[in-house]
């Protein structure tokens, strides 16, 4: 039986070496050699007719039993190679790949990082919905799911997305407002619509993450997400999410809205009437209007320039011009008076200091919808309903689909419309805005105002 060393004999070694054969044929030997730094441990193996040694470490680092087990395992690994040098080359490569994988893993971003990067990218591209998307993701993902938010984005499963949407559908309606002016949360919910929008936001965010890793313009050391698929893509759309957008107010209901607007406080009334008489333009576009956007173009008279940021990927901002007709001048006069007073950055301001936010403008009509529906004068509506209503009534007045698209800055399709047609259609818009103003004035019980407008336009 091969000699077995003991701990005391190894530590008492003053010079030279001691050896102990490992169990198993060809397993080699443990070598203990006294050096100035202590007793060093080596594995000695015979490979291809040559005796080779591999330094394992300092004896003080392990017990004798541990050194035997460690050396036996290392011997087994080395015997798969023709030499210790070949083993060391392979081991270096293995460690390099392991470190590379660890570096990639360390750079892989969390769900929260990916969602933030997605919205940041929207803002860089000038997307008007970026603020709303960031708020929705914070309200329905980041705040209620902190643990999931800190998971790697690649670890998120379709079931996680389903849970997020399930909570969005069942949570209490979020309150709005501040302090004593807190608006009571309403149960008139577009929760299905909001949940479906949230699903689309998450799907777009994961698509962004998938593309980000492969983007050659991305810095090599940037956060990666390691995504292999889009977990939100497997989650079905919310059934019934868009049903609320398939109806419009009747003529009598619209009349009730027009009359109710007259009872609003002065500046809210002026903004609400402008939103109506401008034929339901997107509120985000109106809130961006600055004084420089209202000018005389030298050919069509006074115009209002709106910037349409809504569009597909890579779509540049589009200029949307509206003629300020005589009736619109009257409607806008309380708002335009701020320019003469040197106040506010633009006309759509409640207090004459800053422009109104889209949310505040939308709340004007949401509050009217609650008020009038409670009285039984209309169904409950929002500004979104009114935009559908306005387009429906414009169609009933004979304004065809193409002219409504010009007037309301709907997206253009086809090569000719998107790339070659640069006409602003101001004469057509003027005629349709005048027709719409007469219609609203008649609903408001002001036929004389409508007749004067019609006579002026004939002249």
User: Which fold would CATH assign to domain 7-106?
Assistant: Double Stranded RNA Binding Domain (3.30.160)
Question: Could you give the CA distance from residue 204 to residue 211 in angstroms, rounded to a whole number?
Answer: 11
Please report the pLDDT score of residue 173 as a whole number: 63
Q: What values do phi and psi take at 143, rounded to 5?
A: -70, -45
Count other C-beta atoms under 10 Å from residue 373's C-beta: 15
Question: Could you give the CA distance from residue 116 to residue 129 in angstroms, rounded to a whole number?
Answer: 14
Where helices occur in 79-223 by DSSP H, the ranges are 84-107, 111-124, 130-137, 146-149, 158-170, 191-214
Question: Could you give the CA distance from residue 272 to residue 367 in angstroms, rounded to a whole number?
Answer: 12
Q: Is there a shared CATH topology between the 7-106 domain and the 111-244 domain?
A: no
Q: Distances from the Cα of 260 to the Cαs of 91, 208, 298, 438, 446, in angstroms?
A: 80, 45, 37, 18, 14
User: Which fold would CATH assign to domain 111-244?
Assistant: DNA polymerase; domain 1 (1.10.150)
Question: Could you give the CA distance from residue 163 to residue 108 in angstroms, rounded to a whole number?
Answer: 23
Please report the pLDDT score of residue 48 as a whole number: 78
**Is the pTM of the predicted complex or chain greater than 0.85?**
no
pLDDT along the chain (459 residues), means of 10: 81 91 90 92 88 92 94 91 89 81 67 94 86 93 95 94 93 55 41 89 94 71 82 86 71 96 95 96 94 91 88 68 95 91 89 90 95 95 94 95 90 44 78 96 75 48
Please report the pLDDT score of residue 193 as a whole number: 84
Please report the pLDDT score of residue 6 as a whole number: 93
Please report the pLDDT score of residue 1 as a whole number: 43
Count other C-beta atoms under 10 Å from residue 197's C-beta: 19
Domain extents in the chain: 7-106, 111-244, 247-458
Q: Which CATH architecture has domain 247-458?
A: Orthogonal Bundle (1.10)
Secondary element (H or E) of residue 233: none
Question: Could you give the CA distance from residue 199 to residue 164 in angstroms, rounded to a whole number?
Answer: 9
Q: What values do phi and psi take at 184, rounded to 5?
A: -60, 135
User: Exposure pattern of 47-77 as b/e (b: 16+ CB <10 Å)?
Assistant: beeeebebebeebeebebeebbebbbebbee
Count other C-beta atoms under 10 Å from residue 277's C-beta: 20
């Amino acid at each position: 039986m091969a000699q077995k060393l003991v701990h005391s004999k190894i530590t008492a070694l003053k010079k030279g070496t001691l050896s102990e054969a490992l169990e198993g044929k060809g397993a080699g030997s443990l070598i203990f050699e006294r050096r100035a730094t202590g007793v060093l441990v080596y594995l000695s193996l015979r490979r291809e007719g040559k005796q080779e040694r591999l330094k394992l470490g300092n004896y003080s680092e392990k017990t004798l039993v541990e050194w035997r087990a460690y050396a036996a395992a290392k011997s087994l690994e080395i015997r798969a190679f023709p030499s210790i040098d070949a083993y060391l080359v392979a081991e270096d490569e293995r460690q390099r790949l392991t470190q590379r994988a660890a570096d990639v893993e360390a750079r892989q971003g969390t769900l929260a990082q990916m969602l933030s990067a997605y919205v940041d990218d929207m803002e860089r591209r000038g997307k008007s919905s970026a603020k709303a998307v960031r708020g929705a993701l914070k309200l329905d993902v980041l705040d209620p799911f902190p643990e999931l938010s800190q998971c790697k984005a690649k670890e998120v499963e379709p079931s996680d997305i389903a849970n997020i949407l399930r909570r969005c559908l069942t949570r209490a309606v979020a309150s709005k407002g501040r302090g004593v002016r807190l608006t009571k949360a309403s149960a008139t919910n577009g929760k299905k619509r909001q949940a479906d929008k949230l699903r689309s936001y998450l799907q777009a965010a994961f698509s962004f993450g998938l593309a980000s890793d492969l983007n050659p313009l991305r810095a090599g050391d940037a956060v990666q997400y390691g995504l292999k698929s889009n977990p939100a893509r497997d989650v079905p759309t919310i059934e019934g999410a868009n049903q609320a957008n398939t109806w419009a107010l009747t003529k009598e209901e619209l009349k009730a809205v027009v009359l109710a607007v007259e009872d609003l406080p002065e500046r809210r009334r002026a903004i609400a009437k402008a939103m109506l008489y401008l034929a339901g333009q997107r509120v985000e576009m109106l809130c961006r209007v600055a004084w420089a956007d209202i000018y005389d173009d030298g050919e069509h008279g006074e115009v209002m320039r709106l910037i349409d940021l809504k569009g597909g990927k890579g779509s540049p901002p589009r200029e949307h011009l509206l003629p300020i007709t005589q009736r619109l001048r009257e409607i806008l006069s309380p708002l335009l008076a701020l320019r003469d007073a040197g106040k506010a950055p633009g006309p759509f301001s409640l207090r004459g200091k800053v422009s109104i936010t889209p949310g505040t403008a939308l709340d004007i009509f949401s509050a009217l919808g609650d008020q009038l529906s409670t009285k039984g004068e209309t169904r409950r509506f929002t500004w979104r309903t009114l935009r559908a209503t306005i387009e429906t009534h414009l169609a009933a007045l004979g304004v065809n689909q193409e002219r409504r698209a010009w007037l309301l800055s709907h997206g253009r399709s086809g090569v000719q419309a998107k790339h070659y047609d640069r006409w602003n259609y101001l004469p057509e818009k003027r005629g349709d805005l005048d027709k719409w103003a007469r219609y609203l004035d008649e609903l408001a019980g002001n036929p004389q105002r409508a007749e004067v407008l019609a006579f002026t336009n004939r002249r």
